[in-house]
Amino acid sequence: MAQGFGAAIRGRHSPMDADDVRAAYQRQARTYDSLFGLVSRQARQEAIAAVNRLPAETVLEVGVGTGLALPHYNPEKRITGIDLSHHMLEQARERVAALGLHHVEALLEMDAQATSFPAASFDAAVAMFVASVVPDPHLLVRELRRVVKPGGTILFVNHFAREHGPIWWAERALAPASSLLGWHPDFRLGHIFTPADLATAKIRDLRPLGLFRLVELPN
């Protein structure tokens, strides 16, 4: 549930449970593309380009949502998408059918923290805008490390809070609205990545205005 402002200032965030996430994205399913989808478009495009540059053939997209990214993967990629919201997945399936996206192999309702995939199922995984949504971000990283083959790549695209400055204050002021927004404005790199993760990660700011960052982890 949402935290108090004092806790936000101290840098802690309280987890949303799966019902919070489902409720938030049920509210947003029909407006997601025109609202958040527009804001996140440039960051999404850069993330897809990063995936397309990888030698990976099998790709897991975590938090596939309404399928905004699906038409833009190289056709030789074999994409499996998962999401916790069946309302979002309905939109994604409509998109796949309408555009004839044959490289999309499956769209599944699944918890990214505990998938049903066997170990080493994918060459790569990309989690777009979900790191600050899941109840246990560290568990998400461990699960993606499990399902991605050794030597593969895991990419995260997300908003990560600043450490100081006016945006820092705005992010923490918005923190109590987490359960309504469906994500944590005060979410930081340390909330999901261990020091060992960060030691090997490639991190870069994405447009617009560095609002989002791309984190690339070797597995």
Q: Which CATH number fits domain 16-167+178-218: 3.30.56.10, 3.90.1570.30, 3.40.50.150, 3.40.50.300?
A: 3.40.50.150
What per-residue confidence (pLDDT) applies to 162? 62
30 class by beta-carbon count within 10 Å (0-12 exposed, 13-18 middle, 19+ buried): exposed
Task: Write the CB contacts of 132 (distance below 8 Å, at least 6 apart in sequence).
Answer: 13, 158, 159, 183, 184, 187, 191
Angle at alpha carbon of residue 68, lines to 87 and 213, rounded to 5°: 110
Distances (CA, A) of 50 to 33, 105, 155: 21, 20, 9
Q: Which residues face 208 on adjacent strands?
A: none
Report the pLDDT value the prediction gives residue 165, as an integer from 0 to 100: 46
The structural domains of the chain, with segments of one domain joined by +, span 16-167+178-218
What was the pLDDT predicted at 14?
A: 47
Asked whether residue 105 carries a pLDDT value surpassing 80, the answer given is yes
Whole-number pLDDT of residue 41: 84
When comparing pLDDT for 167 and 102, which is higher?
Answer: 102
Question: For 199-219, what is each residue's pLDDT tens digit?
Answer: 999 999 887 666 788 999 999
- Chain centroid, CA 9 distance in Å: 24
More confident residue, 54 or 1: 54
Helices then strands, counting H and E runs in the chain, come out as 9, 7
Which range (19-28, 58-67, 89-98, 208-217) has the least confidence? 19-28
pLDDT at 1 over 50: no
The average confidence (pLDDT) of the chain is 79
pTM of the model: 0.77
pLDDT above 60 (res 103): yes
